[in-house]
Amino acid sequence: MQEFDANLDPFASFQSGEGAGVAELIRSFDWSATPVGAMGLWPRSLRESVERILKERTPHFLCWGTSFVSFYNDAFAPFLGSEHPDALGKPYTTVSAAFWLQERPMIGTVMAGKSQYLENTIVHTPSRPERSFGRFTFVLTPVRNDGGQVEGFIAQVTELTEPESGPMPSPGHSGDDEALVVRAVPPKDISHG
């Protein structure tokens, strides 16, 4: 395996302009204190996955490794509300704890190598007080490491909520601050093969 220079900046192309906000946070973050280790030692597959989500204009979230270390792009940051920028580098299981608990079987399917599509889903987002519920579509795609094994996943998120819509109903919501996921339809397997 090739070793990389600890001073390597795989995100130099994001020094200004679009994508620069979260890219700068990623660049300045102490990754050595996380399971992914120092940025200069990241495998090519992780660097390319992070670069991929940073280039996207739509909301993307990357979970990497057995600890599901969290990365996201500028377009995803508003979904985190007050959790941004603290969510960066944390385990996905703590950043989106309620979603993780409810959707763990679907995420397990993705980690087994099969993409999943979760359509028209109502999600309670307490970190966004101005809009505590939203309607979303999620596409979860497995991400492979340099050896070809699934090492994480990328979630592409599309919000379907109309900007001028009022509060959404909250079936079964108890009023606490935990996130709530209400599925309109079950997830679909979108793998090809």
pLDDT digits (tens, 9 = 90+) for 5-21: 445 555 555 444 444 68
State the residue range of the domain holding 111: 12-189
Which two three-digit tokens encode residue 117? 């599509």
In a domain, 87, yes or no: yes
In a domain, 81, yes or no: yes
Contacts of 66-71 spanning 24+ positions with Cβ under 8 A: 66/35, 67/34, 67/35, 67/91, 68/92, 68/93, 68/152, 69/34, 69/35, 69/36, 69/152, 70/95, 71/26
Q: Amino acid letter at 155? A: A
The Cα–Cα gap between 61 and 120 comes to 18
Task: Give me the mean pLDDT over the 68-79 stretch.
Answer: 92
How many structural domains is the chain composed of? 1
Report the candidate in 110, 60, 54 with the shortest Cα–Cα distance to residue 80: 60
User: Which pLDDT band, with edges at 50, 70 and 90, does 62 fall under?
Assistant: very high
**Element (DSSP H or E) covering residue 92:** helix 92-95
In a domain, 1, yes or no: no
DSSP 128: -
Residues forming beta bridges with residue 188, ordered by sequence position: 117
In a domain, 138, yes or no: yes
B/e letters for 139-172, b = 16+ CB within 10 Å, e = fewer, are: bbbbbebeeeeebbbbbbbebeeeeeeeebeeee
pTM: 0.76
Report the candidate in 38, 40, 42, 63 with the shortest Cα–Cα distance to residue 53: 63
In a domain, 22, yes or no: yes
Average pLDDT, the chain: 79
In a domain, 2, yes or no: no
In a domain, 155, yes or no: yes
User: Which pLDDT band, with edges at 50, 70 and 90, does 156 fall under?
Assistant: very high
Q: What is the CATH number of the domain that holds 112?
A: 3.30.450.20
